Structure 1
Amino acid sequence: MISKLDLYKVFCQVGKSKSFSKAAEQLFMTQPAVSQSIMQLERELDTRLFNRTPKGVTFTDEGKLLFEYTHSAINLLDAGEEKILEFKHLTVGELKIGVGDTISRYFLLPYLEAFHNSYPNVKFTILNGTTIELCDALKSGEVDIAICNLPIEDTSIEKLPCFEVQDTFVYGEKFKKILSKPLSLKELVKLPLIFLEPNSNSRKFVENYMITQGIRLEPEFELGSHDLLLEFARINLGVACVTREFSQDYLDRGLLHEVQLQEQIPHRSIGICYLKRVPLSPAATKFVENIMK
């Protein structure tokens, strides 16, 4: 008799394929067997999970809700099975990392290169996203670890600070005369400001600090990437809030200049994050060790 777990796996595949026949192909089952499995699950739950149409199937409201839970659960189970199958010396395996574009480019790449050179048979899967998206990916089992901007207020996630960074403001030639002397934050916010989008963790950190100083931000531009911040500042569209360590090339080449602030914004950290309740795979453990050396 087919197990309850197998029924849920069939249910998830039908939901992703939107077709009994396509799901059957993916699962190496016959279409009648797939259909019988779904009917059995519907009987056990006393709930219709799919709307059947000549063109395929769609979720009922109940089916859609159940899929959200079962999909996450099966991803976690699959991740667990994969970890068990990895060899101790990393001769095979997969390392799934969640990271934002900026941290990937300016921080993570050297570690990826060194790890790949040491363990060439370990496959990398990189998922890009915001800190919020990466935390969700950790919880659903889509990634083993995430490299994120801290702080993160989530008790289910372990956070290991690994790299300290400083938020600062930069400007192009047009603002050089205005910003030739140290400026207070209250004076700074009178200028046209360029920030990351509000859902960015690094933006929230600076914004929260400003609020403690009695200052509310009203940026002229809100952008989706750190590189765009640098380019907008370079062409004199405003003063950009950036990460100093990730802007050093622009500063060294004289393309941008750093605002001398009277009050320095506190340092923050980039950290390695993973679920407290899920043991790290051998590959993830070794990768974390390499970064934390």
Structure 2
Amino acid sequence: MVSKLDLYKVFTQVGKSKSFSAAAKDLYMTQPAVSQSIMQLERELDTRLFTRTTKGVTLTNEGQLLFEYANSAINLIDVGEEKILEFKNLTAGELKIGVGDTISKYFLLPYLEAFHNHFPNIKFNIINGTTSELCAILKSGEVDIAFCNFPVDEPRLIQIPCIAIHDIFVCGDKFQHLLTAPVTFEELTNEPLILLEQKSISRKYVDNFLSANGFTISPEIELGSHDLLLEFAKINLGVACVTKEFAKEYLENGSLFEVPLANEIPPRSIGMCYLNSVSLSPATTKFIESINVQ
């Protein structure tokens, strides 16, 4: 069965060609099939659209009016199909990513750089936030994918761990008395501690682990930035709980020292999340495929 859209495609091509035979050639149809399509459309509209002559066909006044609208509509559909093809071929599009500053700096940047080098016409829209904030905007559809601290209690999200990370305590040179032997949590709580704010997933993970071991931490300083934890510990304002993988430069150059713990905090992970009920765009799918999952 010929659809209404197909009839209008035939109609616009005949209007451009002013010939049934020329339109049939352009549409890879037979001339009788083109004639039948035009007759069917005229019957449905109860209007004569073409005047037949020995030299071809011309649009009637009604046909000319319809042609202007139909041709514009067909052109818009063609443009839309071209845009879809661009998205599929990753020659156009936008990738909306939610990520926190720390994960962006220490994990995501190399992947963004590599993806941009391969697909320079894909635009990045980066939204910063805490893990809780990112999960909220992910569920609202504001971003396509989010990179978060795990674990995340969100059943609507597909969660893919990317790398394992380790929570450790670090100190500056004025706290080197903590480096001679493994430190118990009881000993650690007697030191001035610097931690992330309580609302952060990283802080909650450490708090929950210590609570399970019978300890509660009361830090002297709470901060909203991982980089500030490192800097505050560096100038000996206290002992900071940081992510080992993100403190590598400070540990290697001797600005900070890892405090040996008698009972190490179990590793956790950071990873990517996306809605399990929504189809991913080609750009998002390709970006996910580019991430090395350990």
Q: What TM-score do the two structures reach when normalised by structure 2?
A: 0.70
Q: Which residue of 2 aligns with 1:117?
A: 117
**Aligned residues between the structures:** 211
Instruction: State how far apart, in whole Å, the 2-side matches of 1:245 and 1:171 are.
Output: 16
8 Å contact 1:131–1:200 — kept in the other structure?
yes
Report if the CA contact (8 A) 2:87-2:283 is conserved.
no
Cα offsets for 1:54-86 (capped at 9, x unmatched): xxxxxxxxxxxxxxxxxxxxxxxxxxxxx9686
Runs of 4+ in structure 1 deviating by more than 3 angstroms, as ranges, are 83-86
**Where does structure 2 lack aligned partners over 5 or more consecutive residues?**
1-82
C-alpha distance in structure 2 between counterparts of 1:231 and 1:86, whole Å:
46
CA contact (8 A) 1:170 1:258 kept: yes
After TM superposition, list the pairs within 5 Å mapping 1:59-138 onto structure 2: 87-138=87-138
Distance 1:208 1:113 in 2: 36
Preserved contact between residue 178 and residue 259 of structure 2 (Cα < 8 Å): no
Q: In 2 relative to 1, CA 178–166 (structure 1 residues): closer, same or farther, beyond 3 Å?
A: closer
- Work out the CA distance in 1 between the residues paired with 2:286 and 2:178: 49
Larger radius of gyration: 2
- Once the 2 structures are TM-superposed, how far is the Cα of residue 242 of structure 1 from its aligned partner? 0.2
Residue in 1 that maps onto 2:274: 274
Please tell me whether the aligned partners of residues 234 and 255 of structure 1 are also in contact (alpha carbons under 8 angstroms): yes
Tell me the equivalent position of 1:181: 181
* Equivalent residue, structure 1, for 2:22: none
CA distance in 1, matches of 2:169, 2:147: 23
Amino-acid identity (%): 62
Matches within 5 A, 1:156-235: 156-235=156-235
The alpha-carbon deviation at position 265 of structure 1 amounts to 0.3
* CA distance in 2: counterparts of 1:180 and 1:106, whole angstroms: 30
Offset from partner CA, 1:24-61 (integer Å, 9 cap, x none): xxxxxxxxxxxxxxxxxxxxxxxxxxxxxxxxxxxxxx
Query: Equivalent residues in 2 for 1:134-145 (5 A)?
Result: 134-145=134-145
Change (3 A) 1:279 1:113: same
CA distance in structure 2 between the partners assigned to 1:269 and 1:245 by the alignment: 11
The verdict on how the C-alpha distance between 1:265 and 1:86 changes in structure 2, with shifts beyond 3 A counting, is farther
Q: Partners of 2:197 and 2:290 in 1: how far apart?
A: 32
Is this contact kept in 2: 1:193–1:221, CA < 8 A? yes
Gapped regions of structure 1 (runs ≥ 5)? 1-82
Contact 1:86 1:282 in 2 (8 A): no
How much has 1:180 moved relative to structure 2? Answer: 2.3
Q: Partners in 1 of 2:287 and 2:268 — Cα distance?
A: 22
Deviation at 1:241, TM superposition (A): 0.2
